[in-house]
Amino acid sequence: MPMPWFLLSLALGRSPVVLSLERLEGLQDAARCSPGLSCHLWDGDVVCLPGSIVSAPGPVLVPTSLQTELVRRCYQETDCDLCVRVAVHLAVHGHWEKPEDEEKLGRAADPEPEEPRNASLQAQVVLSFQAYPTARCVLLEVQVPAALVQPGQSVGSVVFDCFEAALGTEVQIWSYTQPRYQKELNLTRQLPALPWLSVTADGDNVHLVLDVSEEQSFGLSLYWNQVQGPVKPWWHRNLTGPQTIPLNQTDIVPCLCIQAWPLEPDSVRTSICPFTEDPRAHRNLWRAARLQLLPPRGWRLDAPCSLHAQATLCWQAPSRGPCQPLVPPLPRENVTVNMALEFPLLKGHPNLCVQQVSSWEKMQLQLQECLWADSLGPLKDDMLLVEAGGPQDNRSFCALEPSGCTPLLSRASTRAARLGEQLLQDLHSGQCLQLWDDDLGALWACPMDKYIHQRWVLVWLACLLFAAALFLLFLLKKDHVKAAATGRAALLLYSADDAGFERLVGALASALCQVPLRVAVDLWSRRELSAQGPLAWFHAQRRRTVQEGGLVVLIFSPGAVALCHEWLQDAGPAPGAHGPHDAFAASLSCVLPDFLQGRAPGRYVGAYFDGLLHADAVPALFRAVPVFSLPSQLPAFLGSLQGPRGPRPGRLGERAEQVARALQPALDSCLRTPGTAGMGRGMGPEAGDRT
């Protein structure tokens, strides 16, 4: 149902409630009257000319008061505008006057009929409406039947639908009759604004602030208000409660508008375009504008908003100096965004560029695009020759240079003057490309490649030789760089005394990988070990490690020492005495010959853990190679593993500390286990597979 004006003003406060305004369909204005009256709305608007006040000849209709309310005029399902409905209340003014002789003699019988004094009344009522920038006047014809004509009494009202207006604007309404019998009525109203939508700026930070209640749901849309085409939102969200939304600085352009509305049926939408006069928005618009080449000689300026700019052609030399206007200058064209334009050219050239110049208040903005650079390649070292019009034997030529247009046959010290005769020969022999031609003259682009000094050839040869030397050096250092990046190889051999000792070896292997070293250990290769067998697996790993210049690390424990003694005293253990994954037992058949024949130095190192084995327990045969106590001798151990190309001592000490921290928890766990320190092997066939 319609909402009275004062209720609407009260409702639209800081946190507005949702209103349900009456909905009007279509674009046509309409008028209706109170019961008993008849009215008609003239087609189209009329000219507002109140005229002077005249005396009433008798009873006449005059407006006595004005009343307004808001309605919605809808063109489509969701496309509605705010509209002001105006009701004009009418009354009878004046009365019939008696003739003077009738008042003296009394009313005599008159044989001729007389017009009844209580006849129906007709009036032309004018409504004038102003709401910047809109001004309208409409004319309503109203007729009152004789039965309702009572001097000084109200006869009803006529209602007009409707005058469109925007939220937040001030509207002024006048009403009078033609002819005018009294001073016109006037009414001024401030349409309610929606203060819950605003934009704040703090330096470069721009925020959209929506101050609504927490339970209020609303839609928010950002769109470009373009002159051409329908409005197409490029950002839309349905939100709830108060919101502060940051706006991307680069998205702010003069035509950026914001629309918000409550998510309720028949709700009123409000829009603001706050950046139309913002200098930053105009700069962003210029940065967002793009020139696009449309083959064969067309072009278009693409931009989100319309802008006032002029375009002209210029010549851009490869030196990246300023783009020089063509001589004679081609006329500037006014630019309409997103519309195709034509170049007055015969041929395209990569050095021909388009300059867009715009002036907004005191800001001078310029955009330049060399549109043919993509299709015709990079800028060329061509000389632009300008041919001035005249008789065939009286034509003059000059070359466009940074200092101006230099006559070809002159004594100037420029490149064009020195090569003037050669350029004319190139022109007459057809080596130059004609870009433009009319009655004023012509433009020619002449290639300059063959005039480049020969010394640049030597420079290029020197550069090529230098590049070849660098490439050769790279190939020579390739293997070294690869090895340095991946680390030296290390194969760890140990005896699986128990689960705790296996965890300790695993911690050592993981820490060595971070050094970095390329570590191989049977703990990480159980599947290969089962498939190949311990002896075949050890042979493959040992061969690869030795070939890559790595080291085999023998980790001694009580169990490993016992195994070594068995081999040295009994020439090997009994078959099947150890688990299928015991690579240490299998490897001794290959390790011992290397030590017995003196091939171990440079291929093997030994190691044992502090507290688990004494240095004297290591068999004398294996002391032919360095044997390190871990973690007390970690720096020397790491230095031996990494070789002469390892890191500097300071860096080596840091890595040793990292490895020591990784080993210590597992070593402490082994030392706390009863019977671990100094224990014997303690493993037999029943130990089985420790995977």
Of 72-86, 395-409, 549-563, the poorest mean pLDDT is in 72-86
Q: What is the pLDDT of residues 508-559, one digit of tens each?
A: 988 888 887 889 888 888 888 888 888 888 888 888 988 888 899 999 999 8
Which stretch, 362-366, 400-404, 447-451, 632-636, has highest mean pLDDT? 632-636
Q: What is the pLDDT of residue 88?
A: 95
Find the mean pLDDT for residues 387-398.
Answer: 74
pLDDT band with cut points at 50, 70 and 90 for residue 168: low
Residue 73 has pLDDT above 60, yes or no: yes
Task: Enter the pTM of the model.
Answer: 0.40
Rg over CA atoms, the chain: 50
Exposure class string for 574-610: b at 16+ Cβ within 10 A, else e: eeeebbebbbbbbbbeebbebbeeeebeebbbbbbbe
Q: Tell which phi-psi region holds residue 539, choosing left (phi > 0), alpha (psi between -120 and 50) or beta.
A: alpha
Instruction: Single out the residue of 159, 154, 126, 156 nearest to residue 140, CA to CA.
Output: 126
More confident residue, 358 or 339: 339
Find the mean pLDDT for residues 446-450.
Answer: 84
Q: What is the pLDDT of residues 127-162, one digit of tens each?
A: 999 987 789 999 999 999 988 888 888 999 999 999
Which stretch, 169-183, 233-247, 672-686, has highest mean pLDDT? 169-183
Q: What is the pLDDT of residues 633-668, one digit of tens each?
A: 989 888 888 887 766 777 888 888 888 898 889 888
Q: Provide the percentage of residues in the chain whose pLDDT is more than 90.
A: 13
Residue 453 has pLDDT above 70, yes or no: no
Which stretch, 37-41, 101-105, 378-382, 684-688, has highest mean pLDDT? 37-41
Count of CA atoms in the C-beta half-sphere (13 A) of 585: 22
Q: What is the pLDDT of residue 680?
A: 42
Of 45-59, 82-96, 355-369, 573-587, the poorest mean pLDDT is in 573-587
User: Sign of the CA dihedral 501, 506, 511, 513?
Assistant: positive
Residues 275, 253 contacting (CB under 8 angstroms) = yes
Say whether 681 sits in a helix, a strand or coil.
coil
SS (H, E, C) 156-181: EEEEEEEEECCCCCEEEEEEEECCEC
Find the mean pLDDT for residues 353-378.
Answer: 73
More confident residue, 361 or 224: 224
Q: What is the pLDDT of residue 95?
A: 74
Mean pLDDT over each residue of the chain, to the nearest integer:
79
Find the mean pLDDT for residues 558-582.
Answer: 69
Residue 240 has pLDDT above 70, yes or no: yes
Q: Provide the percentage of residues in the chain whose pLDDT is more than 70.
A: 80
Q: What is the pLDDT of residue 360?
A: 67
Q: What is the pLDDT of residue 285?
A: 87
Residues 338, 308 contacting (CB under 8 angstroms) = no
* Whole-Å CA distances, 376 to 31, 294, 343: 67, 14, 17
Which stretch, 18-32, 392-406, 428-442, 637-651, has highest mean pLDDT? 428-442
Dihedral (Cα; 669, 674, 678, 682), 10-degree rounding = -100
Find the mean pLDDT for residues 432-445.
Answer: 84
Q: What is the pLDDT of residues 2-31, one digit of tens each?
A: 333 322 333 333 333 334 578 888 888 999
Round to whole Å and give the CA distance between 389 and 439: 7
Residue 466 has pLDDT above 60, yes or no: yes
pLDDT band with cut points at 50, 70 and 90 for residue 372: confident
Q: What is the pLDDT of residue 202?
A: 76
Residue 356 has pLDDT above 50, yes or no: yes
Residue 109 has pLDDT above 60, yes or no: no
Instruction: Single out the residue of 484, 491, 690 nearest to residue 581, CA to CA.
Output: 690
DSSP label of 381: -
> Please, is 462 exposed, middle or buried when counting C-beta atoms within 10 Å of its C-beta (0-12, 13-18, 19+)?
exposed
Find the mean pLDDT for residues 480-493.
Answer: 68
Q: What is the pLDDT of residue 67?
A: 93
More confident residue, 444 or 529: 444
Round to whole Å and give the CA distance between 412 and 397: 14
If one counts every other C-beta atom within 10 angstroms of the C-beta of residue 413, the result is 9
Q: What is the pLDDT of residue 675?
A: 56
Per the listing, tokens 């470069």 go with 204
Residue 409 has pLDDT above 60, yes or no: yes
Q: What is the pLDDT of residue 98?
A: 60
More confident residue, 36 or 190: 36
Main-chain phi, psi angles of 546, to 5 degrees: -65, -40
* Helix, strand, coil % in the chain, rounded to nearest 5: 30, 35, 40
Count of CA atoms in the C-beta half-sphere (13 A) of 265: 2
Q: What is the pLDDT of residue 118?
A: 60
pLDDT band with cut points at 50, 70 and 90 for residue 689: very low
Question: What are the structure tokens assigned to 557, written together?
Answer: 């424990």
More confident residue, 685 or 232: 232
Dihedral (Cα; 313, 318, 321, 325), 10-degree rounding = -20
Long-range contacts of 670-676 (CB under 8 A, 24+ apart): 670/500, 670/501, 670/504, 670/609, 670/611, 670/612, 671/611, 671/612, 673/498, 673/500, 676/498, 676/500, 676/501, 676/612
Greatest alpha-carbon pair distance for the chain in Å reads: 170
Q: What is the pLDDT of residue 581?
A: 47
